[in-house]
Structure 1
Amino acid sequence: MTGTLYDRTASAAAAAVISAYSTSFGLATRLLGVRVRGHVRNVYALVRVADEIVDGEAAAAGLSLDAQRRTLDALEEETLDAMSSGFSANLVVHAFALTARECGITPEHVRPFFASMRTDLETASHDAASHDDYVYGSAEVVGLMCLQVFANAGRPDAPIPAPAALVTGARRLGAAFQDINFLRDLADDAGLLGRDYLGVTDGSTRATVLDRIDADLDAAAETISLLPADCRAAVTAAHDLFAALATRLRTAVGDERVRVPDPVKAIIAARAVAGRPPVRRAS
């Protein structure tokens, strides 16, 4: 990414946040083309900071629920202001605003995300409708932000909307990622945070969630070939990493937190770089 020294410093700060928090995500972003890589890191850095406000770090620092809510509200307001003005004194927010302005990420993406984050401070247990609303804001719109990056990063003209088929694929992939994370973190969400996103009470309901995940992954896989060439390997790798997690979740015992071993991650990345299609789950 180009820009002023301040712009580049902000993007470097966002990259540092992502590098510290997620090895799997770091692997996938390294497979993105240079045109889009920094922008995607800028998006996920803001997501990560917002998540910390509601998922324990702020509470551990002694913030009450009301204080956490005010902090989250202030971050949302600062983000929207920076998207309008092009500047923030918060480096992560500034980096996100740079990406939003270049790539056509709008308040219609940002507001549902913060609404879902706010839900974590207000709702402990979800039914089917509130689950779907939460997943849209917490995961599907993040996929839509990344899709705007894929479609528009580096364009000389004004940003354009992504094609409808890719919008559907991005939403389905985001939903699958989120439900997989919910299943992986079932014990921690319940025991540490007092939250129940899925209503999984037995093997049958767990299988139902995994069947939904498989359907979402397959629907997303159908659209990956439509992405720009410099994005396909990374999205395929991310898709297949989560598909591997879904496989392990089928046979996980008790509260075991499943993970994909590093050698398997390397094989998944190599397949993606070689241009192999994403794996299919339900068929």
Structure 2
Amino acid sequence: MTGLALYDRTAEDAAAAVIAAYSTSFGLASRMLGPRVRPHVRNVYALVRVADEIVDGPAAAAGLDADAERGVLDDFESETLASIERGFSANLVVHAFARTARECDIREDLIRPFFASMRTDITTSSHDGASHDVYVYGSAEVVGLMCLQAFVNAGSPAPRIAEPHLVEGARRLGAAFQDVNFLRDLDHDAGELGRDYLGASTRADVLARIDADLACAAAVIPELPADCRRAVTAAHDLFAALAWRLRSESAGDTRVRVPNPVKAALAARAWMGFAPRSVRA
């Protein structure tokens, strides 16, 4: 393997390294995807993770102020869009994502809202209900839609449009993931980052919203392509388990986690083809 093929493979390996380093849960779920889809989901995750790190601490720890962070994020967005157009980037993570965007028809209408939400993290410290919804759409729902584009288009000779109910399920699953993380990270977000994503919403209200979103997503998972269902079921069930633990434990300093043996059991259950679990189970 030489030339562009080697570069493409190296870019995909770089994206896989990002997901392996930053998320055991999504790393576990991604390994359950079929080979048609797996590299594309990893490529999406790597791009959004790097963008998130620009605004969530590492850049500031390196000495960047808010204006410098904004400049780096703007450059990252510009390079992402340009690389999709030209088919190459010197940034391996961007190059990997651009390949996925070109093959799976991920367009600016999903990419720009994501970067807009990341930009909000630099400028906005407290959200109300309306700004929460806008933020979650850009930071999480569009990521679910990018993955859905990979599910329906990877390996296809021509782009296809996902069915509306699959679009709704992808958005709701992304929203549930984000709200679970908001509840898990309340202390860190407030103490370390000075952010409040949930505003006046009560813990009970947020958990009810998570339950509804997970239930909506679970209903459409059986209609996803066969090589995606087990992975999405595993991710759904991991976050349902987190929601259950958030409901069972009072808010405190410890970030709620699913123990590794439970993760393994949920993954095994999904691998055997069981339907997504109830959020209350």
TM over 0.5: yes
- Please state if 1:252 is matched with 2:249: yes
**Following the alignment from structure 2 to structure 1, what is the Cα–Cα distance between the partners of residues 67 and 82?**
22
- Give the match for residue 90 of structure 1: 91
| TM-superposed deviation, 1:159 | 1.2
- Please state if 1:171 is matched with 2:168: no
- Please state if 1:224 is matched with 2:221: yes
| 1:213-268 CA-partner distances (Å, limit 9, x unpaired) | 00000000000011000000000000000000000001223232110001111110
**Following the alignment from structure 1 to structure 2, what is the Cα–Cα distance between the partners of residues 61 and 263?**
36
- Give the match for residue 112 of structure 2: 111
| 1:102-158 CA-partner distances (Å, limit 9, x unpaired) | 000001110000000000000000000000000000000000000000001111x22
- Please state if 1:263 is matched with 2:264: no
- Please state if 1:131 is matched with 2:161: no
- The answer (yes or no) to whether the contact 1:42–1:96 under 8 Å persists in 2 is yes
**Following the alignment from structure 1 to structure 2, what is the Cα–Cα distance between the partners of residues 42 and 185?**
25
1:30 partner letter? R
Greater mean deviation of Cα atoms: 247-256 or 236-245:
247-256
- The answer (yes or no) to whether the contact 1:43–1:146 under 8 Å persists in 2 is yes
- Please state if 1:65 is matched with 2:66: yes
**Following the alignment from structure 2 to structure 1, what is the Cα–Cα distance between the partners of residues 77 and 165?**
29
Written as runs of structure 1 = structure 2, the 5 A alignment for 1:24-43 is 24-43=25-44
**Following the alignment from structure 2 to structure 1, what is the Cα–Cα distance between the partners of residues 246 and 104?**
36
Greater mean deviation of Cα atoms: 245-254 or 41-50:
245-254
Greater mean deviation of Cα atoms: 249-258 or 26-35:
249-258
- Give the match for residue 185 of structure 1: 185
Written as runs of structure 1 = structure 2, the 5 A alignment for 1:139-178 is 139-155=140-156, 157-178=157-178
2:258 partner letter? V
- Tell me how many residue pairs correspond in the alignment: 278
Unaligned residue ranges in structure 2 (runs of 5+): none
- Give the match for residue 210 of structure 2: 213
| 1:61-110 CA-partner distances (Å, limit 9, x unpaired) | 00010000000000000000011111100000000000000000001110
Greater mean deviation of Cα atoms: 159-168 or 54-63:
159-168
2:108 partner letter? P
- The answer (yes or no) to whether the contact 2:43–2:100 under 8 Å persists in 1 is yes
| TM-superposed deviation, 1:273 | 0.7
Identity %: 72
TM-score, length basis structure 2: 0.97
Residue aligned with 2:162, SS: coil
Q: What's the Cα RMSD here?
A: 1.3
- Please state if 1:277 is matched with 2:278: no
| TM-superposed deviation, 1:200 | 5.4
**Following the alignment from structure 2 to structure 1, what is the Cα–Cα distance between the partners of residues 15 and 280?**
36
- The answer (yes or no) to whether the contact 1:211–1:282 under 8 Å persists in 2 is no
- The answer (yes or no) to whether the contact 1:180–1:213 under 8 Å persists in 2 is yes
1:184 partner letter? R
- The answer (yes or no) to whether the contact 1:200–1:206 under 8 Å persists in 2 is no
2:77 partner letter? E
- The answer (yes or no) to whether the contact 1:215–1:282 under 8 Å persists in 2 is no
TM-score, length basis structure 1: 0.96
| TM-superposed deviation, 1:4 | 1.0
- Please state if 1:49 is matched with 2:47: no
**Following the alignment from structure 2 to structure 1, what is the Cα–Cα distance between the partners of residues 278 and 262?**
17
Residue aligned with 1:193, SS: coil
